[in-house]
Amino acid sequence: MTPNTLLRQDAKVITLVGLAHGTSHFYHVILAALIPWLKPEFHLSYAELGLLMTVFFTVSGVGQAMAGFVVDRFGARAVLFTGIALLGVSAVMLASAHSYVQLMAGAFVAGCGNCVFHPADYTLLNQRVSKARLTHGFSVHGISGNIGWALSPLFLTFAAARTDWRTALLGAALLPLTVLAVLLWNRHALRPEAVAAPAATPAGAPAPAGALDFLRLKVVWMCFGFFLISAVALAGIQTFAATSLVSLYGMSLQWATSAYTCFMFASAVGMLYGGFLGAGSRHHDRIIMLAFASAAVLALVLAAAVVPAWMAIVLMGMIGLVTGIAGPSRDLMIRGAAPANATGRVFGVVYSGLDSGLALGPLLFGALMDANHPAGVFVFIGVFQALVIVTTIGVGNNSRVAGVPKTA
């Protein structure tokens, strides 16, 4: 294969996987974006609304751990296509809901669809992208997810304000159907034959012989804890940061939603830079610690409400930027923890921590909003971002003990 041919193949695979990942993240916040419409329509409390998102991420988290085994057994491509189709079905179910139970059912199906993406995406990237561009593939993967997070509330609030929330969800159903058509058209690029070498088993750690032996690696569970804690903080930003900004700073919902969008787009920029930073560093844990320490301080400043409303939007963007920078280094740390031929299983279990945190977070932050503590939302966001530093130290120390490489 010539260098130009390899470059084109890498670019196509990274683009297709990124497109699928962006679709997944678009669906993470379809319910959160429609809170102003769902709350009066169904007479729900913030805690009840948070429970819908908890169902979504609980199902996704449990399913993600299992999906990793399915990916390793049957291949990432078919599993990915199934997940995208289920997201489209879930949006139609939510759009036709006339009770809280029906909303729950739609959230359940959406969680089933969402559970496949991380194990399938990372397996495809590791199999189909050359080692020289793998770090950039991780960076684009993270960026596409943040773009999905950013575009979802913009699209849904715009559509719901001009039509109604049901029409907005039907419009959202078109996205996975379109993406699925694109992936099917380009399915040859996602064929299972490996191009990149599989991740090596960490030096000093026994090569797992059984399908579950990787669970004995302590660093895998440290990575799980990292995702669990960081995701609780992210859940606060995704679900109730906009509502909290309205209460704390007296800004309109439109401006508060723009602050969230600023957070996500700035995070995408951070991930782009983080891809280059991570590729040239052997100290990924240090990059992550510095990023989350900065984010925690910025969140506490927001909680204090000592800056004007326009500055709150800037601070949200800064939080997104620094946490985005940490993204590629995070993925490289986890790739180093993955034993040979267990990429899907490791990423499935580790990333189920992300869904677990996103499941717990809405309950915590919804309770704070019901108790009329909007500042508490940002206080707890800052606390959990600071706790991420502790888990990062643990991952770094256990990686060094096990001999996990710091680079891709």
pLDDT digits (tens, 9 = 90+) for 15-26: 999 999 999 999
pLDDT-derived band at 302 (thresholds 50, 70, 90) equals very high
C-alpha 59: how far from its chain's center?
15
Residue 214 and residue 343: Cα distance in Å, rounded?
10
Q: Evaluate whether residue 408 is within a structural domain.
A: no
Q: Evaluate whether residue 306 is within a structural domain.
A: yes
Closest Cα partner for 83 from 176, 190, 184? 176
Residue 67: predicted pLDDT: 83
Residue 13: predicted pLDDT: 92
Higher-pLDDT residue of 90 and 64 is 90
Which are the contacts of 193, defined by CB distance < 8 A and separation ≥ 6? 127
The two structure tokens encoding residue 113 = 């669809």
For the chain, the helix, strand and coil percentages under 3-state DSSP, each to the nearest 5? 85, 0, 15
pLDDT-derived band at 203 (thresholds 50, 70, 90) equals very low
With a cut of 90, say whether residue 383 has pLDDT above it: yes
The two structure tokens encoding residue 40 = 């009066």
With a cut of 70, say whether residue 251 has pLDDT above it: yes
Q: What is the DSSP letter of 28?
A: H
Residue 406: predicted pLDDT: 40
Residue 386: predicted pLDDT: 92
Count of structural domains within the chain: 1
Mean pLDDT check: name the lowest of 82-91, 102-111, 274-283. 274-283
Residue 295: predicted pLDDT: 94
Three-point CA angle 355, 359, 362, nearest 5°: 135
Q: pTM of this prediction? A: 0.72
- Residue 237 · residue 381 · CB < 8 Å: yes
What is the full DSSP assignment across 141-152?
HHHHHHHHHHHH
Q: Evaluate whether residue 55 is within a structural domain.
A: yes
End-to-end CA distance of the chain: 22
Which secondary structure element, helix H or strand E, spans residue 190, and what is its range?
Answer: none
Closest Cα partner for 396 from 306, 315, 290, 307? 290
pLDDT-derived band at 401 (thresholds 50, 70, 90) equals very low
Q: Evaluate whether residue 308 is within a structural domain.
A: yes
Q: Evaluate whether residue 133 is within a structural domain.
A: yes
Q: For all residues of the chain together, what is the average pLDDT? A: 84
Higher-pLDDT residue of 150 and 344 is 150
Domain of residue 182, CATH code:
1.20.1250.20
Residue 109 and residue 183: Cα distance in Å, rounded?
21
With a cut of 60, say whether residue 340 has pLDDT above it: no
Q: Please, what's the largest Cα pairwise distance for the chain?
A: 62
In the three-class reduction of DSSP (H, G, I as helix; E, B as strand; rest coil), residue 203 is classed as coil
Residue 132: predicted pLDDT: 76
Percentage with pLDDT > 70 across the chain = 86
- Residue 368 · residue 376 · CB < 8 Å: yes
Q: Evaluate whether residue 211 is within a structural domain.
A: yes
pLDDT-derived band at 173 (thresholds 50, 70, 90) equals very high
With a cut of 90, say whether residue 80 has pLDDT above it: yes
pLDDT digits (tens, 9 = 90+) for 37-64: 999 999 998 889 889 988 998 898 888 8
Residue 338: predicted pLDDT: 58
Q: In the predicted model, what is the mean pLDDT of residues 239-245? A: 88
Q: In the predicted model, what is the mean pLDDT of residues 276-282? A: 70
Domain containing 61: what range?
3-191+199-402
Q: Evaluate whether residue 407 is within a structural domain.
A: no
Q: In the predicted model, what is the mean pLDDT of residues 332-350? A: 66
pLDDT-derived band at 4 (thresholds 50, 70, 90) equals confident
pLDDT digits (tens, 9 = 90+) for 106-155: 999 999 999 899 888 988 888 888 877 877 787 888 889 888 888 898 89
The two structure tokens encoding residue 79 = 């599993």
Residue 120 and residue 137: Cα distance in Å, rounded?
14
In this structure, which amino acid lies at residue 365?
Answer: F
Higher-pLDDT residue of 53 and 319 is 319
How many CB atoms lie under 10 A from the CB of residue 216? 12
Residue 14: predicted pLDDT: 92
C-alpha 372: how far from its chain's center?
28
The two structure tokens encoding residue 282 = 């052997």
With a cut of 50, say whether residue 83 has pLDDT above it: yes
Q: Evaluate whether residue 359 is within a structural domain.
A: yes
Residue 210: predicted pLDDT: 60
Mean pLDDT check: name the lowest of 219-223, 247-251, 254-258. 219-223
Percentage with pLDDT > 90 across the chain = 38
Residue 321 and residue 264: Cα distance in Å, rounded?
8
Q: What is the DSSP letter of 164?
A: -
Q: In the predicted model, what is the mean pLDDT of residues 174-197? A: 82
The two structure tokens encoding residue 206 = 């026994």
Closest Cα partner for 127 from 177, 187, 77, 57? 77
